[in-house]
């Protein structure tokens, strides 16, 4: 008989729920999405589902019906009755005894939560401090994989320094993105952010921030920033589903602009929020 131990308790492995053998736990072998609603309407649902399908195929997880995922999201969201909700879900490859090579006949596991979105008004009003951290992630950051250990270490390092986000820097000294956000700089009349390569997540908020930037007359430059360029920018900001747009007012201890979210950050936020009221669910 195979024995397992959970905390202090010995149990026959055969009696365990399959979820204890989830490849997501053993290997981070799964992909996820985070979306949100504004005032009872899910924002950019189809874009998130499309990215999710891309993540699934990127890690060769098959047999997931995206229409079924959509209907589960809508059902759970309706049941939760939360106006400003954060919807998290993941699919892992399935459960099996630990082996790097997966069994061909696995059934993917699905997990979803709907929760009240944390209020970030204070961050938006005052702006946040960020600190840099080496980008220790793998080479397919375009896949929204459950493997987030490098992000977790970077974000916790930043939090320990009193910062709201870690900004990841690659081996060439170039900024890729935040540990959980896209990263932008405003220099004069340009809005600059890293180009979409395998090194960063194709952030949905990034796309909308770029659209907002061109709507307000900024020139968009998709080119990686060095740490020095970022530190010398007029404005810095991060963008993510859960935070939308938040100004960065300190970068590795250096004050950006006058230490408050800048003029363009405020305009971008306004323009971005206009998309969230006009987008159909």
CA 239 to CA 182: how far, in whole Å?
Answer: 5
Size of the site for ligand PDD (CB under 6 A): 15
β-pair type (219-222, 190-193): parallel
Closest alpha carbon to 267 in 218, 199, 229, 220:
218
Stretch that binds ligand PDD, among 113-121, 157-165, 220-228, 239-247 (CB under 6 A): 239-247
The reply on whether position 182 binds ligand PDD by CB under 6 A is yes
Tokens of 160: 């320990």
DSSP 8-state code for residue 146: S
Q: Scanning residues 194 to 223, which ones bind ligand PDD (CB under 6 A)?
A: 201, 203-206
Give the three-class secondary structure for 19: helix
The residues that bridge with 12 in the sheet, in sequence order, are 3
Q: Please, are residues 52 and 58 in contact by the beta-carbon 8 Å criterion?
A: no
Query: Of the residues 9, 124, 144, 161, which is catalytic?
Result: 144
Q: Do residues 154 and 179 touch, judged by C-beta distance below 8 A?
A: yes
Q: How does strand 219-222 pair with strand 175-178?
A: unpaired
Task: Select from 4, 34, 80, 196 the one that contacts ligand PDD (CB under 6 A).
Answer: 34
**Which of 24, 180 has the CB closer to ligand PDD?**
180
Residue 16 or 80: the one with the smaller Cβ distance to ligand PDD is 80
Residue 164 lies near ligand PDD (rule: CB under 6 A):
no
Q: State yes or no: residue 242 binds ligand PDD (CB under 6 A).
A: yes
> Is 241 among the residues that bind ligand PDD (CB under 6 A)?
yes
* 124 annotated active-site: no
CB of 135 to ligand PDD, least distance (A): 10
Residues that bind ligand PDD (CB under 6 A): 34, 151, 177, 180-182, 201, 203-206, 239-242
């Amino acid at each position: 008989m195979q024995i397992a131990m959970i905390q202090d308790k010995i149990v026959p492995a055969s009696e365990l729920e399959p979820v204890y053998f989830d490849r997501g736990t053993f290997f981070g072998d799964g992909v996820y999405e985070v979306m949100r609603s504004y005032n009872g309407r899910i924002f950019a649902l189809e874009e998130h589902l499309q990215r999710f399908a891309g993540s699934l195929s990127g890690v060769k997880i098959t047999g997931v019906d995206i229409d079924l995922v959509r209907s589960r999201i809508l059902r759970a969201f309706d049941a939760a009755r939360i106006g400003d909700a954060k919807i998290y879900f993941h699919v892992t490859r399935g459960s099996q005894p630990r082996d790097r090579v997966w069994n061909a006949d696995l059934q993917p596991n699905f997990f979803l939560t709907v929760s009240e979105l944390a209020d970030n008004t204070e961050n938006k009003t005052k702006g946040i401090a960020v600190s840099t951290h080496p980008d220790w992630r793998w080479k397919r950051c375009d896949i929204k994989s459950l493997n987030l250990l490098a992000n977790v270490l970077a974000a916790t390092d930043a939090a320990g320094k009193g910062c709201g986000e870690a900004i990841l820097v690659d081996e060439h000294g170039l900024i890729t993105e935040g540990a959980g956000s896209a990263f932008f700089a405003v220099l004069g009349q340009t809005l600059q952010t890293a180009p979409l390569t395998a090194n960063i997540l194709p952030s949905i908020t990034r796309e909308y921030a770029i659209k907002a930037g061109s709507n307000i007359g900024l020139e968009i430059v998709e080119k990686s920033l060095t740490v020095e360029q970022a530190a010398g920018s007029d404005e810095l900001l991060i963008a993510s589903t859960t935070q939308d747009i938040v100004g960065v007012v300190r970068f590795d201890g250096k004050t950006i602009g006058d230490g408050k979210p800048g003029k363009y950050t405020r305009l971008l936020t306004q323009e971005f929020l206009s998309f969230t009221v006009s987008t159909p669910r």
